[in-house]
Structure 1
Amino acid sequence: MRTKNFVLILLSSLSVLTFLDRNAISIAGHRITEELHLSESQFGWILTAFTLSYGLLEIPMGLWGDRSGEKRIITRIVATWSLLTALTGLATGFVSLFATRFIFGAGEAGAYPNTAIAIRKWFPLQERAKAQAFVWMASRLGGALAPLLIVPLQMQFGWRVTFFVLGGVGLAWVLVWHRLYPSESPLQDNTDQQQYVAPENDAPRWTVHLKDRNFWFLLVMYYCYACGVFFFISWLPKYLQAGRMIAEKDLSYSAALPFLLAAGGCLLGGWLSDHLVSRIGLNWGRKLVPVVGLSLSALLMLGCVAVDSNVAAVIMLALGLATMDVTAPVSWAIAIELAGKASGAVTGAMNTAGLLGGTIASLGVGYLISWTGSYDVPLIILAIQLLIGAFFASQLKVSTPRALDKT
């Protein structure tokens, strides 16, 4: 039990680090665009560089983790992206910054699919949503910490230094992970310990899922969810500064609050889903949470557009991300349950769909702002997408690999 909890702490710290590094570019976005003379649409391409390369390599890195083990792959992933984080601070213009962020995305690809592999090995079915909840809660805590750490750091030393510091922190984490992560788990190749066995021992090859409509419903749902999330990851600081005219000195708390509440949303989503599974079964116990969460989030995003008060807008944005993020741990739990031993590949496919949404959202928001001059239009479109995601979540039929047709 202690070892299992320690593994969860390691995975959660990795999740904090991923979102510290991801969100750094958007928090420094106002300074970067001014210093490098970038337009809003060009900055959209900078944000898209990460999601594009990240998405292209999600499935290959998930497959690699399925075959080679998550410890080795996560070590390579974090070492690579940490070096590229540091190199971001050396960018001199659009081309060099785009290239650095593109390679950074390629380096980070596979982090969460390989985290899913570790959770499948260390946690039984009835605990996986809660384990995913802690991992995703940690990611949002990383998002909340990012403005609190980066804004004062860049105001004191400039935006470039923040990337050097974050790169160093990542490399230090690699040393801890490589030395302390256990190589074997109670679930791995051990069918005698029935208290740990989940119903996935004869799971099919991952390509079988391509014929399963639930696989595609899951991908569409996650695509719509990720469109909303990437607005917060990529554009929230710019929206608050340029769209709501919030001063940089006030940005730390305004940009942190949505991610702080989202951490609670992730934890609530995982706990509530596992509780519902024990009460009403796997199917509705899993899908009811994203159906309600995405619907509420859409209404809150529309509410943000309707209010003039910055305080009310920030609160609605924070609640919008929190209700949206109850979906995160449940989506990954569903993917693990559908995939079984193909968890790396199937979660990689799901995250690729999400990153496609993130790519389109990151790029599309920039162009919509440039074309319309409004920061409200993107929020309206994202709210519609969240409602579409809720619909596809309601159509899911959640089951374990044994329920799949293996022919």
Structure 2
Amino acid sequence: MWASSPAKLRDDATYFRMSHWISWTARLLTGAVALLLLRFAAGMDEEWTERHLLPDILVPSDWLVRIVQIERFLLLTIALALLLSVIFRRRAARPGKIWRWVGVAAAILLALPASELAMQWRSGRAGLAWTPTDEPLRQADPLIGWTTIPARRIIDPEFASRPLYVIEAHGYRVETGPLDMALPSILFAGESIMFGKGLNWRDTIAGRVQKLSGIQSANLAVNAYSAGQVYLHLKRELPKFRRPVAVIILYAPTLLVRDLDRNRPWIDRAGRWHAAERTWYLSRLGRVLFPYRTPSAIEEAVATDRRLLRADVAMARARGAQPLVLVPVYQPERPRERALRSAIFDGGRIPHVIVPLDRQWRLSSDPHPDARAHAAMARAAWMRLNELGLLNDMAAVPDSSSL
């Protein structure tokens, strides 16, 4: 056999040194990642979850707990697999094989923008925080983010019951319409729960209170609103009513998560308005799969919502209306939810009524509250208004145009 040339030997030595260096570097990095994953998974105990996970009123709490458990198991599995690959790896990795893995990683990175475009096209959102195709249809609004498209009668095809939504000229949900803005009115502000998503008018909070009181109800709620958007919308719409009797606002700590989204107009702790920031659809998906927040961000949101609710109350009182915050609480209430509620409502300084709801009181094909839940909330609001003596003498309700 022919002896190898000195140049060939040098090339082989360089190859083996490079292969050895790449192999050990990869093993060290893999081991470090595995240890970090193990440390993170070990720390995802109940106390950590309570600090970092915000409850969501449209997601049952046991689902959130299950998500955490699954993610913790996956992290442990990945970490152990990486450690085993480091421990039992005997041969140095060939550069060609390493480059194949680099190619796989590059392909995954290139797939991200393609997936983003596909998801935006499929959902029709194009970076929006709301889905333009969902009924009731909405339109963009530079100040608030979006509002309900006015002057429409629609059947919601999403539900087998085919609920009817009547939207009058101002964009409010009503029984038949149009509203008489000069009549005494009870205003309802909030998001899709207060709107009565999936329900006919007679089964909603606003519809039931109107029947109980005999006073005109104006449902100003708009799907997917945050507390900041509710405040901005109420600030714009309340002056249009000459005789607002009461303003009922639906709020719960389980809606707090929306005030941490930056893909909608938002108000900070100091009361400053901020425009929406365009976000990727994949980032929204990431927040669903990994709904974790820092304690400082949660504390900031609590302080902001407390300020917003106080502003709502002051605004209603300035127009001669009785403010009332309706707080639905699905049972059993978790300690974290109770602590958030106590912090936000500040020992009762914000007038509110807590309404315990059975966890089964949801629509059959949707997590929104059903007619039984709305009936309980309407009764609680009506009883509280009666306790305040607001409805004893309607003649005493002032014409706010003279205030």
TM-score, scaled relative to structure 1: 0.23
Identify which of structures 1 and 2 has the higher relative contact order when contacts are C-alpha pairs closer than 8 Å and 6+ apart: 1
Q: Which has the higher helix share?
A: 1
Q: Which is higher, the Rg of structure 1 or of structure 2?
A: 2
